[in-house]
Amino acid sequence: MAITLKYLGHSCFQIGTLGKTLVIDPFISANELAKNIDLNSIPADYVLLSHGHQDHIADAETICKNTGAKLISNYEIVMWYKQKGIEGHPMNPGGNWDFDFGRVKMVNAIHSSSFPDGSYAGQAGGFVISNSETTFYFSGDTALTLDMQLIARTSPKLDFAILCIGDNFTMGYEDAILAAEFIDCNKIIACHYDTFAWIKINKQEVINAFKAKGKEIIFMNISEEQTL
Ligand code: NI
Ligand code: MN
């Protein structure tokens, strides 16, 4: 059994598992690097949002309205979208819920969270998603935090993790290596790098640093799909 993971740029991933399609943190139409992706052809049963910043929610409304996808995010974000006519399932860090594609646990992130108009967008989070095919962690935007050690102790063994590595707004790659240790996961997929000048990275330097610690970091091309 395997899941499909497609990279849509920045922190956005499309995941196919158990016949359902999840889209996490869609930021496509305003991402110059993702200009070849047709927003209106993206399928989704669920859209997950880690926090309220524009570079994570920009296309959530369009995708939800195009597809009828249900939103999964923190309470404040789900209520904000409810006013736009989008149905969602509200969560908050520490909570689990069993959906028809598997279990979602919202976990801590250290990061701010506001809507594009500056209003409060609840607490930033990450997600651990587990079902009979896979278990993985999506960090969202976060600093390295000791709380990541709890993921290894409270969730099934991770098959892979999607970690932010671009520095400045989130942890950089050196901290992401420690994060990989904390979550006990050797297969890391990179996100939140290169989209803006402040988060440009040297991929080879990152690859070498992970390799030196016995870990694998994967840089997916935008639109690339992997089976994991
Ligand atoms: Ni952010
Ligand atoms: Mn961000």
The pairing of beta strand 187-191 with beta strand 216-218: parallel
**Nearest-angstrom CA–CA distance, 20 and 83:** 26
Q: What is the Å distance from ligand 1's center to 1 Cα?
A: 33
The pTM (predicted TM-score) of the whole model is 0.98
Strands laid side by side in the 46-48 sheet: 88-91, 70-74, 46-48, 20-24, 13-17, 4-7, 225-227
Q: What is the Å distance from ligand 1's center to 129 Cα?
A: 20
- What is the tens place of the pLDDT at every residue in 71-100? 999 999 999 999 999 999 999 999 999 999
- What is the tens place of the pLDDT at every residue in 99-142? 999 999 999 999 999 999 999 999 999 999 999 999 999 999 99
- What is the tens place of the pLDDT at every residue in 150-193? 999 999 999 999 999 999 999 999 999 999 999 999 999 999 99
Q: What is the Å distance from ligand 2's center to 119 Cα?
A: 16
Residues with CB under 5 A from ligand 1 (ion): 53, 141
User: Is there a contact between 126 and 50 (Cβ–Cβ < 8 Å)?
Assistant: yes
CATH superfamily to which 4-227 belongs: Ribonuclease Z/Hydroxyacylglutathione hydrolase-like (3.60.15.10)
Q: What is the Å distance from ligand 1's center to 192 Cα?
A: 9
**Nearest-angstrom CA–CA distance, 188 and 164:** 10
